[in-house]
Amino acid sequence: MRKAMKVLHTLAAAGLLGGLVVYMLLLVVAPQDTPAAYADLRVSIAAISNYLLLPSLAVVLLSGIAAMVLHDPYLHKGWAWLKAASGILMFKGILTIVGAKADYASTVAQRVAEGEVAAEVLARALTYEWVTLVVMLALSVANVVVGIWRPRLGRAPARSHGSARPLAKEGATVEGRAPAQEERPRLAS
C-alpha cells in the first residue's frame, strides 16, 4: 500500500507541475490581442485549472497525508512535515490562482474591452497572477526536491557533554562528539 501511495503521489505531483507550466505557457504564447481571444485564453486556463491543477493538488495532498498515516515512520520525519506544511501553502496558492486571480483577470479584461476600466488595472492583475504562479511553481519544485533528498530536520538528540564515546576504528574516546571524518552521509531513510 505504501508503494501505491508513493506512485500516486508522484504522478499527481507531475500533473501539478505540468499544470502550472501549461498555465504559464498559455499566458505567454496564447493570442491575447482581442477581447474574444483573451476570453478564449481564460476559458483554456479555467479548463487546465479545473481538470488538471485542482485534481492533481487534491491527489497530492491526500496521498501525502495517507502515506504519513499508513507508514508510521513518516510521522516522525521533519521533511515529511515540511512537505505537509508547504502542501497546505500550495493549496492556498492554487486556490488563489484559480478562484481569485484568473477570474478577476477575466472580469477586468471584459471591463477593459468595454472601456470601463484602464488597461493598467489588467496589467496589475496579471502581475499578481504571475507572482503567484512563480511562487507555486517554486514550492512545487521544492517539495519534489525535499521528497527526493529527505533532509534530516528537527532537533538533534540531546548529548551529555561529560560522557565519552568510543570511536569505531581505534577504540579511543572523544568528549561530546565524534570527529567529522567518522560521520557517514545519510543515503536514504
Structural domain boundaries in the chain: 2-149
Per-residue confidence at 100, pLDDT binned at 50, 70, 90?
Answer: low
d(CA 17, CA 52): 10
User: Helix 54-70 to helix 78-95 angle, to the nearest 10 degrees?
Assistant: 160
Would you state the pLDDT for residue 20?
Answer: 94
Name the residue with higher pLDDT: 161 or 63: 63
Would you state the pLDDT for residue 33?
Answer: 83
Here the cell at position 185 is 552521509
Would you state the pLDDT for residue 165?
Answer: 54
135: Cα within 13 Å, side-chain hemisphere: 16
User: Quick one: CA dihedral 68, 132, 20, 117, positive or negative?
Assistant: positive
pLDDT tens, 117-166?
A: 777 777 787 888 899 899 999 999 998 888 888 888 765 555 555 555 55
CB 78 within 8 A of CB 152: yes
Mean pLDDT, to the nearest integer, of 68-90? Answer: 87
Local structure of 91: helix, strand or coil: helix
Stated pTM of the model: 0.72
Q: Is the pLDDT reported for residue 55 higher than 90? A: yes
22-26, 80-84, 179-183: which is most confident = 22-26
In the predicted model, what is the mean pLDDT of the chain? 79
Local structure of 31: helix, strand or coil: coil
Per-residue confidence at 76, pLDDT binned at 50, 70, 90?
Answer: confident
